[in-house]
Structure 1
Amino acid sequence: MVLSLPLSLTIADLLALALLFLAWFGCAHVIEHSPPGRPSVSTLMRRYRRDWMEQFVHRDPRIFDGNILSSLREGTSFYASACMIAIGGGLALIGNTDPLAGIARELDAGEIPALVWRVKILLVLGFVANAFLKFVWSHRLFGYCAIMMAAVPNNPEAPDAMSRAHAAAQVNIHAARNFNIGLRAVYFALGAIGWLAGPIGLVVGTVLVTALTLRREFASGSRRAILRDLGDRR
């Protein structure tokens, strides 16, 4: 059955899959290693996270910082829970592909083997599972950050106060990076759903998701606001 799978996929399917993974890895590389002259929002926010921890050292009381970190952890927890629900629904659909086959017949898409339907669903679940793992790890890293923040001395003049704050900032940045990777995986999972409509649907979904992701990182109103603020501070 497994050996017959490549024969069930057309050249168009394979090319659409190649485009999907190329776009996924390409977006990650461009966003995480954006050029200095055109930084992404994710790159710009790293400076704010470092500034946050430096301000945290001098803030008293520090309740505000704890509330912010709690909200970040709640966000990662929400997305992880949503991914678990999506994984459960996808696994249930793999067990019974008849609804998808019925829709395909109504759309005159022809008879598609059940194995191909399962592979298409597994592609979506692969992205969702990746997102789940990233959200869980991000949640844990934010927890580590909270502990490191609690270890920062109350006295700003303490010799290890700023060094511990910088270490907490670095862990916070890693947590945010994993959260962003998880979000991109969710975006591309939505794009991969287009494959259920055929290779053209996958190409369209990939292009739309890629354009949306790059726009939010490089051409959004929030990015312009951040750049204005950083420009005013120089």
Structure 2
Amino acid sequence: MELPLGPLATLDAVALAALVVLWLASGWLIEHPPRSLPSVSILMQEFRRDWMRTFVTRQPRIFDATVIDSLRQGTAFFASASMIAIGGGIAVIGNSRTVESLAADLPLAPGGLEFALHMLPVIGLLANALLKFVWAHRLFGYCSILMAAVPNEPTDPLAFHRASQAAEINITAAKSFNRGLRSIYFALAALGWLLGAYGLIVASIGATAILLRREFYSHSRIVMLSQPGHTAT
């Protein structure tokens, strides 16, 4: 039995739904984890606040300027890479006949329309990543301006208030950046659809597993949770 989706069969629709659900669910869980099991993203939020509190009393503040510039460069790199990947995906769709001959041995054996449909989730996720990276880049720029507005004297009533504002903007920028990265993960998983519906399902589960492991069970998380006087192993 097939759904009235043209070239898309029922199993394809289920696989596509699984991709979207896992993408959204993993993002929600990472950003809203149980209190007893905070994710790396949540732990980093407090470290960002600590950074800005320390920033107030640090003299000179060259190190902080270097770090925020590095963060902006990282978002710019991923935004550029996403834009190039989107262009490549559109170009591939435009040359679907060539791709069809190269992919003749794949289980999907896509025709022109089928291949375009199977590439759309990839391009859509890459476009979402691009928008997230661009917004993160802009927010890190806002953060740098707020940091520049922090008075040099720690005793100034505005010093810690401005630093707190900078921290929250920094956290928002990081959240957007992480959402962009998750879109990249699932864009790669969406390529599994070229191997068929089962390929898409397996790739989506794999991307979710990798993300959740890095957020909840990685060595970096253990280090962040370690207490003074204890060495993480």
Query: TM range, normalised to the smaller chain?
Result: over 0.9
Q: d(CA) in 1 for partners of 2:17 and 2:165?
A: 39
> The residue matched to 1:6 in structure 2 has which SS?
coil
Alpha-carbon deviation of 1:96?
1.3
Structure 2: gaps of 5 or more residues: none
The one-letter amino acid paired with 1:11 is T
| Residue pair 2:107, 2:196 contacting (<8 A) in 1 also | no
Alpha-carbon deviation of 1:101?
1.6
> The residue matched to 1:106 in structure 2 has which SS?
coil
Of 192, 195, 208, the residue aligned with 1:194 is: 192
* Pair 1:58–1:15, CA change in 2 (3 A): same
Query: In the TM superposition, what whole-angstrom CA distance separates every residue of 1:114-143 from its partner, at most 9, and x where no partner exists?
Result: 112101111100000000000010000000
Q: d(CA) in 1 for partners of 2:229 and 2:18?
A: 37
Question: Aligned pairs, how many?
Answer: 228
Q: Tell me whether 1:54 sits opposite 2:53 in the alignment.
A: yes
User: What's the counterpart of residue 26 of structure 1?
Assistant: 25
The one-letter amino acid paired with 2:177 is F
| Residue pair 1:40, 1:218 contacting (<8 A) in 2 also | yes
When the two structures are superposed, what TM-score results if normalisation uses the length of structure 1? 0.94
Query: In the TM superposition, what whole-angstrom CA distance separates every residue of 1:201-225 from its partner, at most 9, and x where no partner exists?
Result: 1011101100000000000000010
Q: d(CA) in 1 for partners of 2:171 and 2:200?
A: 33
**Residue correspondence of structure 1 range 154-165 to structure 2 within 5 A:** 154-165=152-163
Of 180, 183, 186, the residue aligned with 1:182 is: 180
| Residue pair 2:48, 2:171 contacting (<8 A) in 1 also | yes
Alpha-carbon deviation of 1:99?
2.9
User: What's the counterpart of residue 16 of structure 2?
Assistant: 17
Q: d(CA) in 2 for partners of 1:72 and 1:109?
A: 40
Query: In the TM superposition, what whole-angstrom CA distance separates every residue of 1:164-192 from its partner, at most 9, and x where no partner exists?
Result: 10000000000000000000000000000
Q: d(CA) in 1 for partners of 2:83 and 2:156?
A: 44
When the two structures are superposed, what TM-score results if normalisation uses the length of structure 2? 0.94
Alignment RMSD, CA only? 1.6
> The residue matched to 2:60 in structure 1 has which SS?
coil
Q: d(CA) in 2 for partners of 1:54 and 1:229?
A: 20
Q: d(CA) in 2 for partners of 1:137 and 1:207?
A: 28
Alpha-carbon deviation of 1:8?
1.1
Structure 1: gaps of 5 or more residues: none
User: What's the counterpart of residue 69 of structure 2?
Assistant: 70
Alpha-carbon deviation of 1:107?
3.5
Q: d(CA) in 2 for partners of 1:95 and 1:174?
A: 37
The one-letter amino acid paired with 1:90 is G
